Amino acid sequence: MRKKIAACSFAASMLAVPAVAETLSPGTPLSGYQCYAIDVQKLGMTREDAWLGHGLPPMFDAPRPDAKQIGVSPSLVYIAWPLENVNGFVRVVRGSGRLGWILEDVIRPLYRTPGSAGGCSLSWRGDRIQVHLNPGAKAWLWPDHDLPEGH
């Protein structure tokens, strides 16, 4: 009986959603993440907004709209993979290794060259996470990737 209770407790702890944002330690494996982009069109952002960082979606320390905001999303987002939706949010890791949550409906897969797998791989460089786009992956915000006039 004790073994069943211990097994159930362990399983429940694995499924529990942490209430406080955590930080990955440098060197922690990053194979469980995939690159997504913010969906500028769904967010109603202009090219100028994106260039200046206006209108970027918030990131939270828990999967709730009333949770503490821990910053705003960069345009390239590292999403826990496979996607797991909790209350409309998905788990993310910031470049510093800090874990958080972002609304799933403000992100989209990266554009990619037809026929390519696209995607990315993440690795540590000191205490920061760096991204390597796989062949065919495009970290563009718009399909034609033009910069705003004058930039």
User: What is residue 12's predicted lDDT score, i.e. its pLDDT?
Assistant: 32
Containing domain of residue 102, as a range?
19-138
Cα→Cα distances 151→41, 55, 73, 122, 144, Å: 20, 19, 22, 28, 15
Determine, yes or no, domain membership for 66.
yes
Determine, yes or no, domain membership for 7.
no
Determine, yes or no, domain membership for 92.
yes
Q: Residue 104 corresponds to which tokens in the numbers above?
A: 């799933």
Determine, yes or no, domain membership for 48.
yes
Indicate whether 15 pLDDT > 70: no
**Average pLDDT of 35-39?**
94
User: What is residue 91's predicted lDDT score, i.e. its pLDDT?
Assistant: 97
Determine, yes or no, domain membership for 147.
no
Domain count, the chain: 1
Q: pTM of this prediction?
A: 0.77
Helices (H), 18-114: 40-43, 47-52
Residues 6+ apart with CB under 8 A from 1: none
| Model pLDDT for residues 84-118, shown as the tens digit of each residue | 899 999 999 999 999 999 999 999 999 888 888 88
Indicate whether 32 pLDDT > 50: yes
Determine, yes or no, domain membership for 54.
yes
More confident of the two residues 107 and 16? 107
The mean pLDDT value of the chain amounts to 82
Indicate whether 25 pLDDT > 70: yes
- pLDDT level of residue 17 (50, 70, 90 thresholds): very low
Strand partners, 38: 107
Indicate whether 54 pLDDT > 80: yes
Determine, yes or no, domain membership for 58.
yes
Determine, yes or no, domain membership for 143.
no
User: What is residue 23's predicted lDDT score, i.e. its pLDDT?
Assistant: 86
- How far apart (Å, rounded) are the C-alpha atoms in residues 34 and 112? 14
User: What is residue 150's predicted lDDT score, i.e. its pLDDT?
Assistant: 55
| Model pLDDT for residues 122-148, shown as the tens digit of each residue | 999 999 999 999 998 888 888 776 555
